[in-house]
Amino acid sequence: MMKKKLLELEDFLLEFYGEENIGLVISEAASILGVLIGIKPAALLVNDMMEDGRMLLDGGTLKNILEELGIKIIIGDVSKFAVHKNIKRTVESLYEGDEFIYISIDEGLCNQLMENYLVVTDLTEGGLVAEKNRNEWNEANLRVGKLLGYPETAVLEYIKTSGDASYMKSEERRKRMARNRYYAHSEKFEDDEFREYDLPLNQAILRYLPRIAKSMQADSKKRWLD
């Protein structure tokens, strides 16, 4: 049943976003599959709104697929980083658009992710964190990273370098971001992190989501199974 339902999910995401937005398709599918196979305790999605006003949660299709897969879902507040505020939503929509969507097999983990991610976003203004809030932001980010299943070494480096503009713009970091998916890998432990998180997730995509896997395999700039 899971395999059939995941093929339904794949069809839905490709139809909603379109092949031209394959990056968004991969991101959403990987987050959901990561929760299902246990790589991610929880995941964060966004109720994306397309230019024609369609939203990811409209019609209840995604919600129904997730529930049939045994995934709990909590719909949170609209993202403070929303970029679609001027797009007119469809008349029948129940949503504003750009709501955070927290998912997990365990509803308690959905709540934990929501609580901690709200701390992170509330303390962030214009991509910056005030020094007086730095410790609280760091601690919340550690919890968020753990809930999302990201390798600890990657999370720690992200926190350590978040205020370092020169590091963020460095050529080495740019290249590392360009060849990897899902999160910012650390400089020293990139390969270990890939084997821990990326590789098993990509293998699961190859097994369960063939159309998405084909697109990922075709992108020679991104690491796949190596």
Element spanning 206, H or E? helix 199-208
- On whether residue 134 sits in a domain, the answer given is no
Write down the pLDDT at residue 127: 76
Closest CA to 107 of 70, 69, 57, 58: 70
Write down the pLDDT at residue 163: 79
Domain count, the chain: 1
CA distance 172 to 167: 9
Element spanning 173, H or E? helix 171-179
- On whether residue 24 sits in a domain, the answer given is yes
Q: Are 208 and 33 in contact (CB under 8 A)?
A: yes
- On whether residue 179 sits in a domain, the answer given is no
Element spanning 76, H or E? strand 72-78
Write down the pLDDT at residue 91: 54
- On whether residue 207 sits in a domain, the answer given is no
Task: Dump pLDDT digits (tens) for 61-79.
Answer: 999 999 999 999 999 988 7
- On whether residue 177 sits in a domain, the answer given is no
- On whether residue 194 sits in a domain, the answer given is no
Write down the pLDDT at residue 148: 99
Domain that holds residue 40: 1-107
Write down the pLDDT at residue 198: 99
What is the pLDDT tens value at each position of the chain, 226 positions in all?
789 999 999 999 999 999 999 999 999 999 999 999 999 999 999 999 998 889 999 999 999 999 999 999 999 988 776 665 566 666 577 888 899 999 999 999 999 999 999 999 999 887 788 889 999 999 999 999 999 999 999 999 999 998 788 888 899 999 999 999 999 999 999 999 999 999 999 999 999 999 999 999 999 999 999 8
- On whether residue 215 sits in a domain, the answer given is no
Q: Are 113 and 106 in contact (CB under 8 A)?
A: no
- On whether residue 181 sits in a domain, the answer given is no
Q: What is the pTM of this model?
A: 0.93
Which residue do the tokens 């990897």 mark?
Answer: 180
